Structure 1
């Protein structure tokens, strides 16, 4: 199944099961933020589509944003804890060993910005899932990590879902 077919079938499922939209958004955001699953699940495109469906179907906006933020924060937290547990060995596991340049860029970004890199990294594609893992490997303190993680997850979920939900509603008026 190609990515377009996956996107279409996922959005079709969401449309048919509107009551499950927050749960689906949360699971997708979790997969998008988890270091290993993020490379396999095209969640960003699906979440943007869910944002548009929110506006078109009248699905409540804030529960979906909250669920997506919770899923994203949980995925980053798990990646961080994985990095803390495995240390430098985490970089030798699949898929990190296949993307050494991405890991090196994430290390440089984290070395320069510290926990703030977690917040910034959430908005940059593949770095979204790698930066928390590297933060765990580097031993970034949990409290600054979690503060950056949770606040950026809320902002990320809003930024991802709001344009589709709001713009579609605006065009319909």
Structure 2
């Protein structure tokens, strides 16, 4: 599937920078990082044939809502646009399972593998988490090692640790 036009916006937030991208189907990417140019390069690698355009008002509002949530977390992150991540059938199943993990909760890669009907696919689940194009909205940061420890995170272990700590405080 090729994407002809992709609206893009990038804004500073408490996590550093957030880049958001959408097309007519919905949100394609929400990427946190330290450098807006590196985020644009990541987006280009994910969508090499996309023609990038400035975000329209709906996408700008969606990003503003997400950044506002990051300042004062309360429950789930609002996404006013539909999620439309691009991935394999297995990745889609994993990402859907991740969306069922509520703020303040966590599970292991093995738990997710069981949830998608592939109990021996823990490593494949970890790869699907690393390929997740919609950080925060598809909460792969809520997946931990079987021993409860924090393992790698595509967007930095410190971001993962901070997100988990904030979500834990919501449920305290």
Scaled by the length of structure 1, what TM-score is found? 0.26
Q: Which has the higher strand share?
A: 2
Larger radius of gyration: 1
Q: Which has the higher helix share?
A: 1
